[in-house]
Chains A and B, each alone.
Chain A
Amino acid sequence: MASITPVLPTEAHRTLEEPRLDARPPKRRRGFSLKDATASTLLWVYALISIAPLVLMVSNSFRTTQEMASNPIGFPIAPTFSSYQKAWVTASFETYFVNSIVVTVASVVLSTVVSLLAAYAFARTKSKLFAAIEALFLSGLMLPVYLAILPLFFLLDSLGMISNLWSLILVYGALGIPFSTFVLASFFRQLPIELDEAARLDGAGSFTTFFRVHLPLVRPAIATVVVFRFVPVWNDFFYPLILIRDQNAYTLPVGITRFFGEYQTDWATLFAGLTLATIPLVVLFLLATKQIVSGLTAGMSK
C-alpha cells in the first residue's frame, strides 16, 4: 500500500508545477498593448501567490529536513519518498486516511440518498406541510448549526457512539441535507410533469417512476451535490475534534493536529502529511472542475 500512494503526489505535483514554468512568455506575444501586458502580469503575480505555498508543500515533501534547513525553497533534486513512508506508517496516516475515506463516502452517500427522496417529494407535491419542511431544511444553509455541538455530544454519548465513525457519518449525513435538497429539488422542478403522467399511464407506481424516470435525468445535479458535500466533509475538523476521542478513529484533520505536535521539527514529514491530506481533493478537482466552477457560482440564483 505504501508504494501505491506516494506515486500520486508526483502527478499532482507536475500538473501544479508545469504551467508556472512558462510564467513569463505572455508578455512577448505580438499585438499586446501595454494595458494587456499589465493585466496579464498582475494575473500571473497573483497566480504565483495563490499556488506557490501549495507547490512548496508538495516539492518540500520530497526533500529532507536537512535540505530545507539549508535552503527553504528548492527543487527536490534527489526526490525521496521516505517522509511519505514515515507519515503513512509511523505517524498512522494510513489509519486516518482510511477513516476519512469511510466517513466521507458513507456520509455523502447517506445525505445524497435521503435528499434525493425528499427533494423529489418537494418537487412533486403541493401542500403547506411540505413547503414548511422544505423551508426548515433550507434554514440549515444559513444557521451556524455547529454551535449545537454540546447536546449532540450528549446525545451520541448516551447512545455509546462517541469515538465511533458512525457518529460522524450520521451527523455529516444530516448536515448535508439542506444543501443537497436545495440543489436537487430545483432540478426535479425543471423536469416536465408530463414525464410522470406518461409513466403513470404505463402503469408505473411512484417509486418506479422515481427510480426509472427521474433518477437518470438528475444525474448532473447528483454529481454537483456529491462533489460539493465531499469537500467540506473531507476537510471538516470541528466535529471529529469533539466527537472522536480515540486515536484509532481519528480522521485526517484531527490526526494532523496530533501529528503536528509530535513531529514539530521533522519538516519533511509534516509536508508529506499535509500533501497526503490534500491529494484526494486535487484528484477530485481535476476530475470535476466543471461541476465545481458551476456549483460555486450556483449560489448566485438564490
Chain B
Amino acid sequence: MSVTNTRRSRHIGITLSKRTGLVFILPALILFTVFVLYPLLTALSYSFFNWTGIVRGDFSVLDNYVTLFTKLPYRDQVPNAFFHNVLLFVGAMVFQNTVGLGLAVLLHRLKRFKRFFQTIFTLPYLVSPLVVGYLWSLMLSPLFGPVNFILKAVGLEQFAQPWLGNPATAIWVVVFVTAWQWVGFPVLLYGAALGGIPQEIEEAASLDGASSWQRFREVTFPLLTPAIGTVSVLTFIGAMEAFAIPYALGGSQGSPAGATDVLSLLFYRTAFESGASNAIGTSSAIATLLFVFIFGVAVFITWFMRKAERKLY
C-alpha cells in the first residue's frame, strides 16, 4: 500500500504516524465496508439488471424503473405510497412546529417541573415504534378500545368509530401516532435553542416597545432557524423511512386497502413477499429512487437552511 509511508510530520494535532493511524482505523473500516458500503453500492447496481429469482440476468438499463411507472400494480401503488410518506412528513412537521414549538416555549418560561415535563414528553420517543404502533392499535380498537370508550363516556358517541378499519381515517392515525411519538424531540431541541438566546436581545426588543407576539415573531423565531432546520431534515428522513409504525397499524399490506401503505413497506413487500420473478429488480428500483430522493432532499434542506441562517447574521 502506498499510503503506509510514514512521513514524520510536525503539524499541531498529529501524534500518530499514518501506519499506526491505519491500525486504529482498520477494524471500523473493515466492518463499515463489508456491512454498509459494499451492500449500498451493490444495491444501486441491482436495479439496472433483469432478475429471475435470485439469478441476475441481462443489463436492462432502466427497464425496472419503467415498470414502476407503467405496470400494475406498481403504477398505482408507488404514487399512493409516496403520497402517504408526504402526508406523514407534512403532518409531523405541522405537529412538531405548532404543538412541539408551543410546548418548548411554555417550558422555557417555566421555573419548576421543567425536567419532569421534558422527561414525560420525551418518553414516547424512546419506546420502540413497533410497540407504539401496536399500543395505539389497541387504544383505537373498535371492540373495547379506550379511545372510543372515552368518546362515548363524554357524549361524543358519533365520533367513535373503527379508526383503523376505515380507509379515510387510517392514514391519519398513522400520521398522528408518528407525530405523537416524535414530539419530544423538537421540545428538547427548541428548548435548547431557546436557552441559547441571550436574554438581552428579548429585553432590548421589549424596551423598544415590542409586544410579546412581535418579540416571538421578529426576534425569537428567526433565531430558531438552525433548530428548525435540524428538525426539518430529521423529520423528513424519518417520514420517508417510516416502516415500523405503519407495519404495526396496517400490516405489511398497508390495510385497509393500501390506505396505510408507505414506500418502505412497498419495497419490503415487493422484495420479500411478492413472489414475482423479477422481485429483486423491481424492488431495487424502488429502493434506489427512495434512496436518491431522501438523500437529495435532505442535502437540499440542509443547504437551504444554511442559506437562511447566513441571512441572519
A, B co-complexed: yes
* Chain A residues packing against B (C-beta within 8 Å): 16, 19, 26, 39-40, 42-43, 46-47, 49-51, 53-54, 56-57, 68-69, 71-73, 110, 113-115, 117-118, 120-127, 129-130, 133, 136-137, 140, 142-152, 154-155, 170-171, 173-175, 177, 181, 189, 193, 196-197, 200, 206, 209-210, 231, 234-235, 237-238, 241-242, 252-253, 256-257, 260, 267, 270-271, 274, 277-278, 281-282, 284-285, 289, 292-293, 296-297, 299-300, 302
CB pair B43–A118 under 8 Å, yes or no, is no
Partner of A148, one of B43, B107, B122: B43
CB pair B35–A171 under 8 Å, yes or no, is yes
Determine whether B197 belongs to the interface, using a CB cutoff of 8 Å to chain A: no
CB pair B25–A133 under 8 Å, yes or no, is yes
Nearest CB of B to A219, in Å: 19
Q: Can you identify 24 A-B contacts, CB atoms within 8 angstroms?
A: A46-B99, A49-B180, A117-B24, A117-B27, A127-B21, A137-B32, A140-B36, A143-B291, A148-B39, A150-B39, A151-B42, A173-B35, A177-B28, A177-B31, A193-B13, A193-B15, A235-B130, A267-B138, A274-B134, A274-B135, A281-B128, A293-B122, A296-B188, A300-B189
Nearest CB of A to B129, in Å: 7
Nearest CB of B to A57, in Å: 5
B212-248 vs A, CB cutoff 8 Å, 1 = contact: the mask equals: 0000000000000011001000100100110110011
Known: A115-B28, A125-B21. A50 touches B295 (CB 8 A): no
Contacts of A252 in B (CB 8 A): 128
Contacts of A71 in B (CB 8 A): 149
CB pair A170–B136 under 8 Å, yes or no, is no
Nearest CB of A to B99, in Å: 7
* Chain B residues packing against A (C-beta within 8 Å): 3, 9, 11-16, 18, 20-22, 24-25, 27-29, 31-32, 34-40, 42-43, 46, 54, 99, 102-103, 106-107, 109-110, 113, 115-124, 126-131, 134-136, 138-139, 144-146, 149-150, 180, 183-185, 188-189, 191-193, 226-227, 230, 234, 237, 240-241, 243-244, 247-248, 264, 267-268, 271-272, 280, 283-284, 287-288, 290-291, 294-295, 298-299
Contacts of B106 in A (CB 8 A): 39, 42-43
Partner of B28, one of A46, A114, A148, A170: A114
Contacts of B244 in A (CB 8 A): 235, 237-238, 253
CB pair B109–A257 under 8 Å, yes or no, is no
Contacts of B283 in A (CB 8 A): 150
Known: A39-B110, A150-B280. A53 touches B136 (CB 8 A): yes
Partner of B291, one of A144, A155, A193, A292: A144
Q: Which residue of A lies closest to B227 (CB)?
A: A300
Q: Cα distance A92–B36 when bound, in Å? A: 32
Known: A125-B14, A197-B15. A253 touches B128 (CB 8 A): yes
A-B contacts besides A120-B24, A136-B37, A257-B130, 12 pairs, CB < 8 Å: A43-B106, A50-B124, A53-B135, A117-B28, A124-B15, A149-B271, A151-B38, A175-B35, A242-B268, A253-B131, A267-B144, A281-B126
CB pair A121–B16 under 8 Å, yes or no, is yes
Contacts of A234 in B (CB 8 A): 128
Known: A42-B106, A260-B134. A144 touches B243 (CB 8 A): no
Central interface residue in A40, A50, A146, A274, by most chain B CB within 10 Å: A50
Partner of A130, one of B21, B145, B271: B21
CB pair B43–A73 under 8 Å, yes or no, is no
Q: Cα distance A114–B57 when bound, in Å? A: 38
CB pair A151–B16 under 8 Å, yes or no, is no
Task: Rank and list the top 7 A-B pairs by shortest CB-CB distance, nearest first.
Answer: A174-B35, A235-B128, A121-B24, A148-B39, A118-B28, A151-B42, A297-B192
CB pair B134–A256 under 8 Å, yes or no, is yes
Contacts of B40 in A (CB 8 A): 143, 145, 148
Contacts of B42 in A (CB 8 A): 148, 151
Q: Which residue of A lies closest to B263 (CB)?
A: A147
Known: A39-B109, A133-B29, A152-B39. A300 touches B193 (CB 8 A): yes
Partner of B117, one of A47, A209, A260: A47
CB pair B116–A19 under 8 Å, yes or no, is yes
Partner of A142, one of B27, B180, B298: B298
Q: Cα distance A181–B189 when bound, in Å? A: 22
CB pair B130–A237 under 8 Å, yes or no, is yes
Nearest CB of B to A149, in Å: 8
Q: Cα distance A39–B126 when bound, in Å? A: 26
Contacts of B31 in A (CB 8 A): 110, 114, 170, 173-174, 177
CB pair B3–A129 under 8 Å, yes or no, is yes
Q: Cα distance A274–B139 when bound, in Å? A: 13
Q: Cα distance A143–B296 when bound, in Å? A: 10
CB pair B36–A206 under 8 Å, yes or no, is no
Nearest CB of B to A284, in Å: 8
Q: Cα distance A219–B144 when bound, in Å? A: 49
CB pair B139–A56 under 8 Å, yes or no, is yes
Q: Which residue of B lies closest to A122 (CB)?
A: B25
Nearest CB of B to A140, in Å: 6
CB pair A126–B9 under 8 Å, yes or no, is yes
Q: Cα distance A46–B240 when bound, in Å? A: 26
Q: Cα distance A289–B120 when bound, in Å? A: 11
Nearest CB of A to B145, in Å: 6
Q: Cα distance A152–B40 when bound, in Å? A: 9
Known: A124-B21, A151-B43, A297-B188. A196 touches B118 (CB 8 A): no
